[in-house]
Amino acid sequence: MIGLSAEPLDVETLVQAVKTKAHGAVVTFLGTTRETSPDDPRPVAALEYEAYETMALEELRAIERETRERFGPLGIAMMHRTGRVALGEPSVVVVVVAPHRGAAFDACRYAIDALKARVAVWKREIYQDGGAAWIANTTS
């Protein structure tokens, strides 16, 4: 389950889409809209995301393939929001299921870092004072 969504993301739906009886570990990453920004001192009211859908989906699929190749048998779901995302709501969800926790944690970290660095999604911070700014993607 890989994609973009203008609708709120449901973590449990993503977990159930990839989890099987062979998976003993489930690791999820939720990136949520926070009230503060490291790039601007003004309080954030919401985020808006735009995506080049064809390119973003192609890159998400490539990251899924790479993650499976690097970390062995696992299930993976990655969804990113588009449009306006309110404070506290998930903007991105990565779910990795694997037989053991080590591979699940490593694969989840790899997938979110690759997504942030490579997927054609752009973020605009909307500030409580009515201002706005486009923010560059960063990786850890």
Cβ–Cβ under 8 Å, residues 97 and 15: yes
Kindly report the CATH number assigned to the domain that includes residue 67: 3.90.1170.40
Compute the Cα dihedral for 65, 71, 77, 80 and give only its sign: negative
How many domains does the structure of the chain reveal? 1
Range of the structural domain that residue 105 is part of:
2-8+23-135
Whether 16 is covered by a domain: the verdict is no
Whether 123 is covered by a domain: the verdict is yes
Whether 59 is covered by a domain: the verdict is yes
Enumerate residues 6+ apart whose C-beta is below 8 A from 131.
42
Whether 140 is covered by a domain: the verdict is no
Which two structure tokens, joined as six digits, stand for 22?
């062979």
Whether 13 is covered by a domain: the verdict is no
Whether 115 is covered by a domain: the verdict is yes
Tens of each residue's pLDDT in the chain, 140 residues:
999 999 999 999 999 999 999 999 999 999 999 998 887 889 999 999 999 999 999 999 999 999 999 998 899 999 999 999 999 999 999 999 999 999 999 999 999 999 999 999 999 999 999 999 998 766 54
Q: Which DSSP symbol is given to 9?
A: P
pTM of the model: 0.93
